[in-house]
């Protein structure tokens, strides 16, 4: 390396304007998808803080519409909905009810903000009384194949309500194919599936359990979510979902699995999404509240890391905060 080459990097870092000129990656509003938790309640003003996720709330439909409107005004392009029903049962029937809380919320948001991309989390765990993502056998085993039809029904009900994207997060084998077949047969051939293709059995989901009220009443999800030690398995899972008809591949969690995001980017042509999960969000928020870190700076550095790793889309609870910064 010559002396001139050695100093090239420094010459290109001399000012903020120069650094922006040669920046390789950037975070844009269209890169961010905001998750919201909507609650079935008669209290239209219901807005309950989520203790383990500072700044996040469980919201009634009315409060959801208000908060989404504020975010859309800042430039938010997409969101994803998680529903908390008034009643739960072993079959998770409110997940696929035509007038379920997610379905009604989709209709409301699409009517109010037609250009907003509204995705729906497609799973049973928030709706089952036992908290698992599928039907259970009498012995407590999660039944893969009998669950597929209910997941397909859930996706179809969400799309009929107006969802632009369905996002199966259950990790049942074969669920992408079941959903794709059902949507196609109903005429929804143009609705994309954003598959939670690589979803690890992670400890970083802790705060989400409070937010979505979906902790399993017994056992855990390690038999159908992935072992955090495995990377090659992620490629097998992603390949299977692509073959079944997935349009977007998601990795969840995000920051602890940047290597996996990069692997998917290098091995598949489909768009890659990263889910910066509740634990990642809460750690940064807690450290910032204690004055240990510059919260905004760490937030943006974490978001750019996803883009650098190869993600086109970032699901993050920081969406609204990031939009405020991007708007100056």
Q: Which residues are catalytic?
A: 199, 252
DSSP calls for 60-105: -HHHHHHHHHHHHHTT--EEEEEEE-S--BTT-GGGS-TTSHHHHH
CA–CA separation, 127 and 93 (whole Å): 7
Residue 25, by phi and psi: left (phi above 0), alpha (psi -120 to 50) or beta?
beta
Secondary structure of residue 165 in the 3-state scheme: strand
CA–CA separation, 279 and 119 (whole Å): 21
Query: What are phi and psi for residue 91, nearest 5 degrees?
Result: -95, -5
CA–CA separation, 208 and 196 (whole Å): 16
DSSP calls for 241-309: HHHHT-SEEEEESSGGGHHHHHHHHHH-SS-EEEEE-HHHHHHHHHHHHTTSS-HHHHHHHHHHHHHHH
Find, among 120, 117, 124, 87, the residue nearest to 102 by Cα. 120
């Amino acid at each position: 390396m010559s002396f001139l080459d050695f100093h090239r990097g420094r010459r290109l870092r001399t000012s903020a304007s120069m650094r922006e000129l040669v920046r390789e990656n950037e975070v844009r509003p269209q890169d961010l998808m905001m998750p919201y938790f909507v609650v079935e309640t008669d209290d239209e003003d219901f807005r309950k803080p989520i203790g383990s996720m500072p700044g996040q709330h469980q919201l009634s439909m009315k409060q959801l519409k208000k908060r989404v409107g504020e975010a859309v005004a800042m430039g938010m392009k997409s969101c994803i909905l998680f529903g908390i029903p008034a009643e739960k049962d072993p079959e998770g029937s409110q997940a696929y009810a035509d007038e379920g809380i997610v379905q009604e919320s989709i209709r409301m948001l699409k009517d109010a903000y037609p250009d907003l991309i509204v995705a729906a989390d497609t799973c049973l765990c928030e709706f089952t009384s036992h908290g698992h993502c599928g039907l259970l056998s009498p012995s407590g085993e999660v039944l893969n194949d009998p669950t597929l039809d209910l997941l397909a029904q859930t996706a179809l009900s969400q799309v009929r309500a107006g969802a632009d994207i369905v996002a199966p997060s259950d990790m049942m084998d074969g669920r992408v194919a079941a959903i794709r077949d059902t949507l196609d047969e109903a005429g929804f051939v143009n609705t994309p599936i954003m598959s939670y293709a690589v979803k690890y059995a992670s400890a970083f989901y802790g705060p989400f359990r409070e937010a979505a009220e979906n902790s399993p009443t017994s056992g855990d999800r390690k038999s159908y979510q992935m072992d955090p030690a495995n990377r090659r398995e992620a490629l097998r899972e992603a390949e299977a979902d692509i073959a079944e008809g997935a349009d977007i591949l998601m990795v969840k969690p995000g920051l602890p699995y940047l290597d996996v995001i990069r692997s998917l980017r290098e091995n598949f042509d489909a768009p890659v999404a990263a889910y910066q999960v509740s634990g990642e969000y809460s750690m940064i928020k807690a450290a910032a509240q204690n004055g240990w870190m510059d919260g905004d700076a760490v937030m943006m550095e974490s978001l750019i890391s996803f883009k650098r790793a190869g993600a086109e889309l970032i699901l993050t609870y920081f969406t609204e905060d990031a939009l405020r910064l991007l708007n100056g």
